[in-house]
Structure 1
Amino acid sequence: MTLQVLIVDDEALARSRLRTLLGECRQPEAVAAAEAASAAQAMALVQHQRFDAALLDIHMPGADGLQLAAALREAPEPPLVVFVTAHTEHAVHAFELDAVDYLTKPVRLERLQTALQKVERLALARQAREPDSAPDWLLISERGRTVRVPLPEVLYLKAELKYVTVRTAAASHLLDGSLSQLEDKFPGRFLRIHRNALVARNAIRALVRHNDPDEGEGWAVRLAGIDEVLMVSRRQVAAVREALGE
């Protein structure tokens, strides 16, 4: 996810500095999608363009950043607000306006990235809650980073103790969750072939006889992109045949 960010500051040098820092952000990636030198300009932009976040200065001519943040809450798709200011005394008021973070100038890259990571988590959660807009990816935290795995790349989901293995043609990931939750969240995309496995319907290529060391002789599915086969429980063989059009 590349965050679309609106920069609002009446000082051109400050806007340039933030634009440079956004270009250096990697976790998450972010881009300065637009800039405004006043609250009025910012409100005009928000009416016609969607932003994930707004970086707001506080002391500006006309309406200040706090007033702007209050006004943004009424926008059709309000951006998440991060204040960027040289003044520390407004922090309490800022958080009363549901600010995600409050940064003081000069802003360091690491501090900005931390704020944007909060924005990313909230933005993804907001998308997941919106009706008719189920995310087309799985968000996985591993080795100190967050990975977004596109659903069309997922070949199977397999329960492994308290985790779920998410397998693509290129890699395997561990997701904290349950198969039942994933089956309910993405109805129709995956087919349950076993109590511990879901496979992507469009990845199924063949139903074959297979001798498994743990389960013995039985049926298994071959999937596109990998050599591994997955055992199919007896009760799910008919569903797999149906998915194959047999």
Structure 2
Amino acid sequence: MTTTPHGTGLRVLAIDDERPALDEIAYLLQRDPRIGGVLTCDSATEALRTLQNLEVDAVFLDIQMPGLSGLDLAQVLSRFKNPPPVVFVTAHDEHAVEAFDLRAVDYVLKPIREERLAEAIRRVVEAPTRSRSGDVQIPVERAGVTRFVNRSDITHVEAQGDYARLHTAEGSHLVRTPLSTLAEQWADAGFVRIHRSALVALPHVEEVHSEAGRVIVVVGGAELPVSRRHTRELRQVLTRKPTP
């Protein structure tokens, strides 16, 4: 572990098994006036030992590391009494949904742009407010810009090959995650499969009716057919749905 002086700003921990990448993120973090000190570790195991003895204001970590991965470490940190905000810094975008299910504050792709890292630090500063809301934010890309959609705003999800399209009242967004993965990860959040290629969010279901022998769900103003295979399951879930 290496450290830089801790001033009046945030003390953060950066973790990456590749020394050049670790040196780069430490350098960029030190350049931000909101950062008062940077600790560095080259493995998740070393980071855990560090965090047993020191408190930090945030953790910036890579995902793919030998032994304990960044996702594994974030899972352990989530069980801390006062878990630090986590920002993933990685060259791989396919873990974004899993990362945000672990309540990550942000997901920064390599190569790191200084202005993008500054945005992640802003999210760290605001993290206590967001964590109280309990909502999960999903990163979506549009025209090269990453923005975040609250999962509670998603009305339904449609499969598009190995991708999934998230629908909200404001529009739709494509994410590089299979529908089957979202169906499993978001089941506890009230997302129910109505077709092999569609999920609906129960809080947004407006109506269920039959039309020409088919069951139709109305959600977010859209009419979606329910397959015979999933009709009984949907009706059972809806009868258990609490009244607002």
TM-score, length-scaled by structure 1: 0.49
